């Protein structure tokens, strides 16, 4: 009898030991699989589709980070065809000083003042979709932009009835972008500009256009940017041209310098979308630059 009792105890103990070994082996296998990456992938957001919130004139898909103030200075010199007499446009210049502020990671507001037509502008940009890979895949980023501007230069005919509303302009824009690789990004910007007052009956108050922009990375801190804005036919005066700009971006830590050539004088949407008069083939090209400097006002 004692023999059978001892055998039973030994059998039970063996079962417990084997079960423990199997359990430990299974746990070690799970740990090994996790080290090998056999786990559910995480969502990875795509960053730096463009280096700053402007391609050149156009808004880019980028928002200012939450709690960060982006101080911007933009210059456009005169046209190059002035030659040595005007030092290729350097004798004349217009500028815009503005600030962008990130209220949240998806909401940016901004305002500025331009010397050209003594204009003031303000805008809101909301990011709705963010390009990502991994668990949650999103092939593109998408934002909505809404801006307004007021022209405060003196009325050309002060003796007639002039209304405050005649100075107002509004812009609405969708921004669709994709970073195809570490060095190449593209963006489309369908745009409508509303002008409360136009010069002739043949012109439309609402101007529909399609902006296109791209970035080609040259090195860690430099890139070539280009943008083109196509205006739908029969909306603006015959002398209005499509805006085209090409430039070179340099990042130096807290600053981003953008050097470029453009046929647009204005640096706000109502101007460079619907009022560009320069012709590249005639030398009506402006050299200009944008300088962006960020300040962290509220830490994460």
CA 191 – CA 171 distance, rounded (Å): 7
The CATH number of the domain where 288 resides is what? 2.40.160.40
Does residue 268 lie within any of the structural domains? yes
Helix (H, G, I), strand (E, B) or coil at 218: coil
CA 56 – CA 245 distance, rounded (Å): 7
Helix (H) and strand (E) counts for the chain? 2, 14
Closest CA to 98 of 127, 64, 66: 64
Q: Which residues contact 137 (CB under 8 A, 6 or more apart)?
A: none
Which structural domain, as residue segments, surrounds residue 211? 51-296
CA 169 – CA 144 distance, rounded (Å): 17
Closest CA to 179 of 227, 127, 217: 217
pLDDT value, residue 300 = 65
DSSP 251: E
pLDDT value, residue 157 = 76
Does residue 44 lie within any of the structural domains? no
Does residue 98 lie within any of the structural domains? yes
Does residue 5 lie within any of the structural domains? no
Does residue 63 lie within any of the structural domains? yes
Instruction: Give how far the C-alpha of residue 55 lies from the chain's centroid of Cα atoms, to the nearest Å.
Output: 7
Antiparallel, parallel or unpaired: β 132-134 and 141-151: unpaired
- pTM for this entry: 0.82
Does residue 170 lie within any of the structural domains? yes
Does residue 20 lie within any of the structural domains? no
Number of domains within the chain: 1
Q: Which residue matches tokens 């990875």? A: 44
Profile the chain (300 residues) by mean pLDDT over runs of 10 residues. 43 41 41 52 89 95 94 92 81 92 95 94 96 91 97 82 88 97 96 92 93 95 96 93 95 87 94 93 93 86
Does residue 270 lie within any of the structural domains? yes
CA 133 – CA 109 distance, rounded (Å): 28
């Amino acid at each position: 009898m004692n023999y059978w009792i001892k055998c039973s105890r030994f059998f039970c103990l063996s079962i417990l030991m084997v079960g423990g070994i199997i359990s430990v082996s299974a746990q070690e296998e799970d740990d090994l699989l996790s080290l090998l990456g056999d786990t559910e992938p995480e969502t990875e957001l795509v960053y730096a589709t463009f280096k700053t919130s402007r391609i050149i004139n156009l808004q880019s898909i980028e928002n200012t980070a939450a709690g960060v103030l982006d101080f911007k200075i933009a210059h456009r010199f005169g046209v190059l065809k002035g030659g040595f007499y005007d030092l290729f446009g350097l004798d004349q210049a217009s500028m815009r000083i503005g600030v962008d502020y990130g209220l949240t990671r998806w909401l940016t507001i901004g305002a500025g003042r331009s010397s050209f037509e003594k204009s003031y502008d303000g805008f809101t940009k909301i990011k709705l979709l963010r390009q990502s890979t991994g668990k949650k895949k999103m092939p593109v980023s998408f934002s909505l932009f809404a801006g307004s501007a007021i022209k405060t230069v003196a009325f050309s005919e002060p003796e007639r009835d002039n209304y405050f509303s005649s100075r107002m302009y509004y812009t609405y824009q969708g921004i669709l972008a994709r970073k195809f690789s570490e060095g190449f990004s593209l963006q489309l910007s369908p745009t409508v500009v509303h002008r409360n007052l136009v010069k002739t009956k043949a012109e439309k108050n609402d101007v529909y256009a399609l902006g296109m922009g791209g970035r080609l990375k040259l090195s860690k801190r430099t890139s070539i940017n280009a943008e083109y804005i196509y205006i739908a036919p029969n909306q603006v005066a015959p002398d209005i041209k499509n805006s085209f700009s090409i430039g070179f971006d340099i990042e130096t830590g807290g600053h981003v310098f953008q050097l470029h050539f453009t046929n647009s004088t204005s640096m706000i949407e109502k101007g460079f979308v619907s009022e560009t008069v320069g012709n590249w083939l005639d030398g009506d090209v402006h050299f200009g630059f944008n300088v962006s400097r960020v300040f962290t006002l509220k830490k994460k």
